[in-house]
Amino acid sequence: MEQGERRENKHSDKRPDKYVPKLFSPEGKPYNINQPKIGFRLNDEDDRDNVTLEVALYR
């Protein structure tokens, strides 16, 4: 009976909520989030109409 009770308890436990990162500040500015630690360069200061994102990917 203990094994049956364990199985029931295992299924009745709620999983913790998945972490959802905040991507933008309250002012609307995007946060710099680089979770896999991939090298990149973001240039948004030269021209206000264009944004350049260079990403160094590995294979």
Cβ partners under 8 Å of residue 28, min gap 6: none
- The verdict on residue 43 lying in a domain is yes
- The verdict on residue 26 lying in a domain is no
Say whether pTM exceeds 0.95: no
pLDDT value at residue 27: 92
- The verdict on residue 57 lying in a domain is yes
Candidate from 1-5, 20-24, 36-40 with smallest mean pLDDT: 1-5
Over residues 5-30, mean pLDDT: 75
Q: Is the pLDDT reported for residue 13 higher than 80? A: no
Q: How many domains does the chain have?
A: 1
- The verdict on residue 8 lying in a domain is no
Over residues 32-40, mean pLDDT: 79
Domain hosting residue 57, numbered range: 33-59
- The verdict on residue 9 lying in a domain is no
- The verdict on residue 5 lying in a domain is no
The answer to whether the Cα torsion of 19, 58, 54, 40 is positive or negative is: positive
